[in-house]
Amino acid sequence: MKKFFIKAAVVAMAVAGAASVVHAADYSTRIVRFGYGLNEDSNQGRAVRYFADEVGKRTGGKWKVKGFGAAALGSDPQMQNALIGGAQEMMVGSTATLVGIVGDFGVYDLPFIFSNEKEADAVLDGPFGQKLMDRLQEKGLVGLVYWENGFRDLTNSKHPITKMEDMQGIKLRVMQNPVYIDMFKGFGANAVPLAFSELFAALETKTVDGQENPVTTIESSKFYEVQKYLSLTHHVYSPWIVLASKKWWDGLSADEKKAVQGAAIASRDFERKDSREASAKAIQDLKQKGMQVTTVSPAELERMRKTTTAAVDKFSADGHAQVVKDLQAALAAAKK
């Protein structure tokens, strides 16, 4: 009797062992449409290609991630809706444009909140960033990782901006997000919300005089062709978020989900390093392309920050008090 049990156990172990050796990971052949707003030759485009390669490697070549840059699949909000409906699988875009879906995402746009990239990484990759990302699920979106868009600076075609008053009368394109509208109205600009996909044409035809984006985007979008003045205001740290359609995600095998999640994390690390390198070079490049660069004094930035407290208070009072508190707590922990 004893002998039998031992024999059975040995057979069971052998079977289990064999199964784990021959177990083929469960990947179907799939094509993934991955949309993004910037040009293919940008930090965003490079990171999408990196992600595509990683997914290819991790699925034994069964998956093909096809990147569509320059908003070929639509603006950020249009793509978000395509993901929710299941007509598109993946995208990357600004967290700022998610406010129509989960309003609390406006919290990242509060001006002068993050002092440096290290703080941003800690908050975004920690429990605060994860919890906010998870709230997209009930809306039909799966948030995978945050990439870096970066600290935003101001450009315009009219005159150098060295202080707040210089923004008066400037028609400034902002993202479709109330925090930006309130912030720039507070500065005295004429804030015009517009999709990024419309922005170059709007600057070229002088429908708007200026815009604000990280220097990497100013360079890759060739805004220097239509904007003369750049002011280094660094008023907001702006994240990007990699999103998947929940409808599509729910149909993936566990192995497939693991492959995508692993590739997303690898792409995040690649993207941040690449963006930071590109950012360090961009100001010099933009000067060479003919832009006039203005540094704004710390005292003036402090004046600007004080002016934005009205926009912050309004955001809190609009039902976002808790998320503001939670972000402040996460930041305090990151600063330690």
Residue 198: CB partners within 8 Å, gap ≥ 6? 75
Among 54, 76, 148, 256, interactor with ligand TK8 by CB under 6 A: 76
Residues 23-62 contacting ligand TK8, CB under 6 A: 37-38
Among 43, 80, 94, 157, interactor with ligand TK8 by CB under 6 A: 94
Q: Is residue 31 classed as helix, strand or coil in its secondary structure?
A: strand
Nearer to ligand TK8, 65 or 259 (CB): 65
Instruction: Say how far apart CA 1 and CA 23 lie, in whole Å.
Output: 32
Tell me: does residue 155 bind ligand TK8 (CB under 6 A). no
Residues 130-149 contacting ligand TK8, CB under 6 A: 149
- Provide, rounded to whole angstroms, the least separation between the CB of residue 252 and ligand TK8: 25
Tell me: does residue 175 bind ligand TK8 (CB under 6 A). yes
Select the residue whose beta carbon is closest to ligand TK8 and give its number: 37
For 26-100, strand residue ranges (E) read 30-35, 63-68, 90-94
Nearer to ligand TK8, 37 or 129 (CB): 37
Q: What burial letters (b/e) apply to 24-62, b meaning 16+ CB within 10 Å?
A: eeebeebebbbbbbbbbebbbbbbbbbbbebbbebbeee
> Minimal CA–CA distance to 140: which of 55, 63, 247?
247
- Provide, rounded to whole angstroms, the least separation between the CB of residue 250 and ligand TK8: 26
Among 43, 88, 217, 220, interactor with ligand TK8 by CB under 6 A: 217
- Sign of the torsion formed by the C-alpha atoms of 103, 148, 281 and 66: negative
Tell me: does residue 209 bind ligand TK8 (CB under 6 A). no
Q: What type of residue is 290?
A: G
State the residues that interact with ligand TK8 by CB under 6 A.
37-38, 76, 93-94, 149, 175, 196, 213, 217, 238
